[in-house]
Amino acid sequence: MVRPNAGTKGVPRLDRENQILDVASAEFGEHGYAGASIARIAERAGISKPLIYSYFDSKEGLFLAAVERAGTVIADEIERIAHGSSEGLVRALETLQGIFTILEPQPYIWKLFFDESAPRTGPIAAAIGGYRERITKTADQGVTVLLHQQGVTHQLDISAMTAVWLSVVDALVNWWLEHPDQTAEQMTARCVRLIGALFGEDLP
Amino acid sequence: MVRPNAGTKGVPRLDRENQILDVASAEFGEHGYAGASIARIAERAGISKPLIYSYFDSKEGLFLAAVERAGTVIADEIERIAHGSSEGLVRALETLQGIFTILEPQPYIWKLFFDESAPRTGPIAAAIGGYRERITKTADQGVTVLLHQQGVTHQLDISAMTAVWLSVVDALVNWWLEHPDQTAEQMTARCVRLIGALFGEDLP
DNA sequence: CCGATATGACCATACGGTAAGTTACCGCAC
DNA sequence: GTGCGGTAACTTACCGTATGGTCATATCGG
């Protein structure tokens, strides 16, 4: 039987893996884990389904790889900013700036951590949980400092406020996805204006 | 063949429909549209799959019915509050209080409007779009007033801020889902504390 | 010729959806 | 009151297809 193109492309495995992960992240981001289709990912990447399985074993494996690639980058960046000396709203703004910069090439990766239809048990849940915990823990520290300054010390209040803060980031990323013409710089400037207006502070 | 229990329960259609919608809302909320399973909904409701189809025609029909039941309630309440005389942060707080009160019996219905895996075309998209537009429009008016007072008039800034505000509501509802012991009243009190701390205002 | 890259064709099954029939109840003729 | 027909409520068993996943095989550089 004739199989045109079989094996003729010769793209190195690592390159191909990254290309697949790019496409898969977008697909998972757009449709959620359950709504994403491997066949569609293959089509969008211009390759065949079996190649994906030969590199990532399963749908779960592919999603897991996407989550881990994204999680490392995002969590590292957030923790890096947290280790700086800034505090309160300035730190919040720096975090947003860092996230926008990282997400600029591929904004969809943010959504991998907030997928309702992703498996709730097994390695995927563990990985998502791990990265979310790193992110949440860091956010929690920042929120704690901010709220303590204002006299709020109730643990549940801080927990809720952390959830709100993470959701604010989420909202801005999603808004950005709907306004793809905006640059990371413009997004940061926008946040400066909004924080300034809401909290009446002068930001650097 | 013996069919034990066929037709023996005799629950009136409207009651059964509402029961199914309760279960379906939770299932859709937990797993998203694509991740939800009709068989599982039937099982959770203690009935058989065909009964669901005889009442709602299809998975889309079931989701649509859930969205419409939830959307009317939520959008009406939000618009009702918006027609009051309050403004700015007070109005924000009243909106949150209203939403918490409405969602108390069934918090999952909020998530139906933010499902990534729901159909993007057809009647479902239209219904979701319609309710989201009602909610967004109302939110947008409140945000516009608030930001204009602070000198922010750029249309895109307002659009982004509206998205952030809606996401704040989303975060609080999700946080609530993870802390089911909390009452609507406690949630409202928590928001009073947090808004007070962040914005340094005295709220009624 | 061997290993890496790649594919068309296929399998298994989960899930949306349906056909056909069962049970219970209600209203009504007698 | 009782037999009976119509209807609402409900079920088992099944179908078709989309999708996750696999197999055998092809191409090509070194």
- pTM of the shown model: 0.90
B22: left (phi over 0), alpha (psi -120 to 50) or beta: alpha
Using the CB atom, is residue A38 less than 7 Å from strand D?
A: yes
**Nearest chain A Cα to B112, which residue?**
A116
Best B96, B174, B198, B202 member to test A by mutation, with max A CBs in 10 Å, is B198
Q: Using CB atoms and an 8 Å cut-off, which of residues 21-80 of chain B contact chain A?
A: 29-35
How distant is C1' of D1 from CA of B54, in Å?
A: 36
Averaged over A39-47, what is the pLDDT? 96
φ, ψ of residue B129 to 5 degrees: the values are -55, -45
Q: What is the pLDDT of residue A8?
A: 73
pLDDT tens digits for A148-157? 999 999 999 9
pLDDT tens over chain B, length 204 residues: 445 566 567 799 999 999 999 999 999 999 999 999 999 999 999 999 999 999 999 999 999 999 999 999 999 999 999 999 898 899 999 999 999 999 999 999 999 998 989 999 999 999 999 999 999 999 999 999 999 999 999 999 999 999 999 999 999 999 999 999 999 999 999 999 999 999 976 665
Q: For strand C, give the nucleotides within 7 A of a protein CB.
A: 4-9, 14-25
User: What angle do helix axes B49-56 and B38-45 make, rounded to 10 degrees?
Assistant: 110
* Terminal alpha carbon distance of chain B: 67
Q: What is the pLDDT of residue A191?
A: 97
Alpha-helical runs (H) found in chain B = 13-35, 38-45, 49-56, 59-82, 88-103, 122-149, 155-178, 184-199
pLDDT tens digits for A51-79? 999 999 999 999 999 999 999 999 999 99
A25, exposed or middle or buried, with CB in 10 Å at 0-12, 13-18, 19+? buried
Q: Which tokens in the block code for residue B15?
A: 């009651």
Tokens 């520290």 appear where? A141
Q: What is the pLDDT of residue B126?
A: 96
Contact A15/A51 with Cβ under 8 angstroms? Answer: no
